[in-house]
């Protein structure tokens, strides 16, 4: 039975949710997936860091009420976070990177991924920063070292848009895409349809945990811009940078705009899109759009995400699913580990042949 030793970089909602799944699902994964996961290290800015070559009990990690620097109480632990040491020296097969997203230069997550790949460890991440800004470098580094850099959860959480498009739409000739890629802004627009003004809708989103204290990245489209870059580069072979994508958010939409759309039997949505132009270049855009009610994205409500892939042979193929959530995003990390496991199994079969 295969056991993958993993190190968790960041122990916020997503990696904590992965630990919850490990605590309860490992026997099922052994049976159904052919592997189990063993946490050998964790590093977190608030809690500190800990290494245990034999493994840390996932249940203890999630149930212990650690205060600031709490990992220092554990054997092999320190009250200080030391991501670099954990990544480079922990006896891990896979580094699970789930720290905050830096939209400017992707740091420190880019360095986290780079250190892992340089020291012989696979990487799975939900972090948009390193994927939008340094994906090609990191994929090349992984390839040179016979490793995997996987990032399904960087777009649409656990909904497998990247892998699904790559694995099931080969030959369909993808021409572009458009999508609702931020659940917070979609929730806010829905509440404005219900009569709330923008500020009140944002406040409600914050109270429900959909929006951060500073909602700028969501409502101004910056989060969607990173996802457009990731999808355009991955699925259309583009080489876009975030600054290449035109970006406008929803903060300037008024209740009058919402009401006008309702009267016209349409609905405002924040749409992230990219298209391959006649000259072969790919252009990306993020902006609010007024969609007719019959449009496949018009009926996507709440925190749900969706993307319509425009293909030459099939027309529009729409993928809908959760775009946020702790467990949903943790599932994306699991799906990346499944992909690594299956690839290694296939490599083993080739070697045996």
Place of tokens 């007024």: 290
> For the purposes of burial, counting CB atoms within 10 Å of the CB of 32, is it exposed (0-12), middle (13-18) or buried (19 or more)?
exposed
Local structure of residue 121 (DSSP, 8 states): -
Contacts for 11-14: CB closer than 8 Å, 24+ residues apart: 11/42, 11/43, 11/44, 11/47, 11/61, 12/44, 12/98, 13/326, 13/329, 14/98, 14/126, 14/153, 14/326, 14/329, 14/330, 14/333
Which residues are CB-contacts of 166 (< 8 A; sequence separation ≥ 6)?
234, 235
Beta bridge pairs of residue 96: 8, 124
Is-cis flag, bond preceding 108, omega within 30?
A: yes
Beta bridge pairs of residue 124: 96, 150
Beta bridge pairs of residue 286: 247, 272
Distances (CA, A) of 177 to 82, 225, 267, 291, 353: 40, 13, 19, 15, 40
Host H or E run for residue 3: strand 2-9
User: 122-125 and 149-150 as β-strands: parallel, antiparallel, unpaired?
Assistant: parallel
> For the purposes of burial, counting CB atoms within 10 Å of the CB of 45, is it exposed (0-12), middle (13-18) or buried (19 or more)?
middle
Cβ atoms of 215 and 205 closer than 8 Å:
yes
Which residues are CB-contacts of 203 (< 8 A; sequence separation ≥ 6)?
none
Q: Any idea which residues carry the catalytic annotation? A: 227
């Amino acid at each position: 039975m295969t056991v993958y030793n993993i190190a968790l970089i960041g122990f916020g909602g997503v990696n904590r949710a992965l630990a919850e799944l490990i605590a309860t699902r490992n026997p099922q994964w052994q049976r159904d997936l052919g592997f189990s996961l063993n946490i050998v290290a964790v590093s977190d800015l608030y809690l500190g860091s800990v290494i245990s070559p034999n493994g840390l009990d996932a249940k203890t990690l999630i149930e212990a009420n650690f205060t600031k620097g709490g990992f220092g109480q554990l054997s092999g632990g320190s009250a200080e976070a030391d991501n670099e040491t954990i990544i480079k020296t922990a006896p891990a097969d896979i580094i699970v990177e789930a720290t905050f997203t830096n939209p400017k230069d992707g740091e420190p997550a880019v360095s986290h991924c780079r250190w892992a790949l340089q020291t012989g460890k696979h990487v799975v991440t939900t972090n948009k920063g390193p994927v939008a800004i340094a994906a090609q470098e990191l994929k090349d580094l992984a390839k040179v070292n016979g490793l995997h850099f996987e990032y399904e959860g960087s777009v649409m959480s656990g909904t497998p848009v990247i892998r699904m498009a790559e694995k099931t739409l080969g030959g369909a000739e993808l021409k572009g895409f458009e999508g609702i890629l931020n659940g917070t802004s979609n929730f806010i627009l829905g509440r404005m349809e219900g009569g709330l003004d923008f500020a009140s809708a944002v406040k409600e989103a914050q109270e429900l945990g959909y929006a951060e204290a500073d909602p700028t990245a969501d409502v101004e489209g910056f989060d969607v811009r990173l996802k457009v870059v990731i999808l355009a580069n991955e699925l259309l072979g583009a080489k876009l940078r975030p600054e290449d994508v035109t970006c406008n958010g929803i903060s300037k939409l008024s209740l009058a705009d919402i009401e006008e759309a309702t009267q016209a039997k349409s609905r405002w949505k924040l749409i992230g899109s990219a298209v391959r132009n006649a000259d072969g270049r790919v252009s990306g855009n993020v902006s609010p759009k007024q969609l007719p009610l019959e449009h496949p994205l018009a009926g996507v409500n709440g925190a749900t995400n969706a993307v319509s892939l425009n293909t030459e042979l099939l027309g529009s193929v729409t993928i809908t699913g959760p775009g946020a959530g702790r467990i949903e995003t943790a599932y994306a990390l699991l799906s990346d580990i499944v992909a690594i496991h299956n690839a290694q199994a296939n490599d083993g079969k080739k070697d045996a042949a």
